[in-house]
Amino acid sequence: MPETATQQAYNDLLQSIESGGFSNAQSLLNSLKAGEIAHLIESLPPKQGKLIWDLLDHELEGEVLVEVGDEVQHRLICDMDPEDLAAVTDNLDTDDLADFLQSLPNKLTDQVFNSLDAQQRKRLEKVISFPEDSAGGLMNTDTITIRSQVTLDVVLRYLRRRGELPDQTDSLIVVDGHDNYLGILSLSTLLTSLPEVSVYEVMDSQVEAITADTSDTAVAKIFETQDLISAPVVDENNKLLGRITIDDVVDVIRDDAEHSMMGMAGLTEETDLFAKALPSAKRRAVWLGINLLTAFMASMVVDQFEATIAQVVTVAVLMNVVASMGGIAGMQTLTIVIRGMALEQVTDKNIRYLFNKEILVGLINGFLWAIVVALIAGLWFQNIQIGYIIAAALTINLFFAAFSGVAIPLVLRRMNIDPAIAGSVILTTVTDIVGLLSFLGLASIFLL
């Protein structure tokens, strides 16, 4: 595939470093965007990543720090003192600064916070008073507010005196004298309407503000369904607190996707690809230990049918087929349900339909592949009876796989356990045990 401009820049940068051309490398590096630099650092082993960090202009350090994952971030700042950390965060938006401070150890957070000026601390306190995964935690306080009674000409003159607009500004927020939210005035309306018209006459009062306690996933859903670029945030009394912009929502969507993907393996989305071996081994050891316990549970089932396996060798050859097919079918259902839950498509009203539909899918696939497996097994071992047994066991296991794939994430959610992390382990245990139990049990009944 042809290289993109960013990939070409990466390659040129790395070649300059390898050849000792650090001046050219520094120039290339600082021409990239903060997100691109963060991606480059995360894509390199620690030693090379630190070299890139050392070549970076100080003005860009804060923006890069909020873009990298927690583990890489801690690695980069381990030798920095609080004053240096405060200096690199000078140009950060309030929401980005809040995210950065909340990712630091408590002692370091307090030191950096106390090194900020009074105005920065006041803005920051407003944001960090809300949970990180809420609309209040996502919002920025850089809002431009106007009153409804003024004319558009007054607004235009005010904006010209101001000189610049905050990033991602597509509208101005209309408030009353007590900062209560009234509506928005889009910039397109401002520029295309007559100057003598009042804000009240052309503002959009139908746009609902987002309450500060709204979850970040719900915020992402609102932005998706309403095609928003920014949205005002209010408290429970409708008083304006700040605004959320699309760049923050994109981060939420990306983090949720990474969380679901990494959670399937028992890892976090902040896991560093190039972390040292010992910490990585410790994290994964817990997950492997849990899987080992479930494997022993399946082995205990097999042990109960030792006599059957000893007398009918064919059973030993085929018994993993049923468990494997059930595991794959169950994971398909589990993935679909977890995705539906993340998108808030799964509700109490449609759970019954979802159960019925997935069980029907499981039975259809069960019957289909049961016929295929029965024919293969019968021809392979010249024993039609073994074909019937594995077909029946496969149908039973795919039924339980479909049922479990829906039930497990629903139960885990009610228990406030993340289905993305715990669901796959439980499901695999169920399909292994049911698959082995049904196949070996039927074999014991009909073949002995």
- The answer to whether 322 touches 435, Cβ cutoff 8 Å, is yes
Q: pLDDT at position 267, please?
A: 55
Q: 56 pLDDT exceeds 60?
A: yes
Domain boundary among 87, 106, 133: 133
CATH of the domain at 317: 1.10.357.20
| Residues 293 and 385 placed together within one structural domain of the fold | yes
pLDDT digits (tens, 9 = 90+) for 298-312: 778 777 877 777 767
SS3 166: coil
Q: 37 pLDDT exceeds 50?
A: yes
| Residue 94 burial (CB count, 10 A) | 19
CATH of the domain at 86: 1.25.60.10
SS3 408: helix
Q: Is residue 27 part of a domain?
A: yes
Residue 233, domain extent: 145-263
| Residues 304 and 439 placed together within one structural domain of the fold | yes
Asked whether the whole model's pTM tops 0.75, one would answer no
pLDDT digits (tens, 9 = 90+) for 369-380: 888 888 888 888
Span 252-277, average pLDDT: 61
Domain boundary among 106, 133, 160: 133
Q: 262 pLDDT exceeds 60?
A: no
| Residues 416 and 287 placed together within one structural domain of the fold | yes
| Residues 85 and 155 placed together within one structural domain of the fold | no
Domain count across the chain: 3
| Residues 443 and 333 placed together within one structural domain of the fold | yes
pLDDT digits (tens, 9 = 90+) for 84-112: 777 777 777 777 777 777 777 777 777 77
Q: Is residue 171 part of a domain?
A: yes
Q: pLDDT at position 171, please?
A: 93
Q: For residue 40, what pLDDT band results from cuts at 50, 70 and 90?
A: confident
Strands (E), 380-438: none
Q: pLDDT at position 54, please?
A: 84
Span 274-291, average pLDDT: 64
Going by DSSP bridges, is the β-strand pair 210-211/171-175 parallel, antiparallel, or unpaired?
unpaired
Q: 218 pLDDT exceeds 60?
A: yes
Q: Rounded to a whole number, what is the largest CA-CA distance in the chain?
A: 95
| Residues 396 and 317 placed together within one structural domain of the fold | yes
Q: Is residue 85 part of a domain?
A: yes
- The answer to whether 207 touches 240, Cβ cutoff 8 Å, is no
| Residues 320 and 441 placed together within one structural domain of the fold | yes
Q: Mean pLDDT of all residues in the chain?
A: 82
Range picked from 12-16, 56-60, 102-106, 221-225 for highest mean pLDDT: 221-225
Q: Is residue 83 part of a domain?
A: yes
- The answer to whether 61 touches 88, Cβ cutoff 8 Å, is yes
| Residues 288 and 243 placed together within one structural domain of the fold | no
Q: pLDDT at position 405, please?
A: 92
Q: pLDDT at position 62, please?
A: 83
Q: For residue 287, what pLDDT band results from cuts at 50, 70 and 90?
A: low
Domain boundary among 113, 133, 153: 133
Q: For residue 2, what pLDDT band results from cuts at 50, 70 and 90?
A: very low
- The answer to whether 126 touches 172, Cβ cutoff 8 Å, is no
Q: How far apart are CA 373 and CA 396, in angstroms?
A: 14
Q: Greater confidence, 254 or 205?
A: 205
Q: pLDDT at position 279, please?
A: 66
CATH of the domain at 230: 3.10.580.10
Q: Is residue 322 part of a domain?
A: yes
Q: Is residue 271 part of a domain?
A: no
| Residues 169 and 302 placed together within one structural domain of the fold | no
| Residues 222 and 348 placed together within one structural domain of the fold | no
Q: 440 pLDDT exceeds 80?
A: yes
Q: 268 pLDDT exceeds 60?
A: no
Q: Is residue 102 part of a domain?
A: yes
Q: Is residue 82 part of a domain?
A: yes
| Residues 90 and 49 placed together within one structural domain of the fold | yes
Q: Greater confidence, 380 or 197?
A: 197
pLDDT digits (tens, 9 = 90+) for 58-89: 888 888 888 887 778 888 887 777 777 777 77
For a pLDDT cut of 90, what percent of the chain falls above it?
22
| Residues 237 and 185 placed together within one structural domain of the fold | yes
Q: 1 pLDDT exceeds 50?
A: no
pLDDT digits (tens, 9 = 90+) for 120-167: 777 777 777 888 889 998 888 888 999 999 999 999 999 999 888 888
Q: How far apart are CA 166 and CA 262, in angstroms?
A: 34
The pair of three-digit structure tokens given for residue 367, joined into one six-digit string: 């019957």
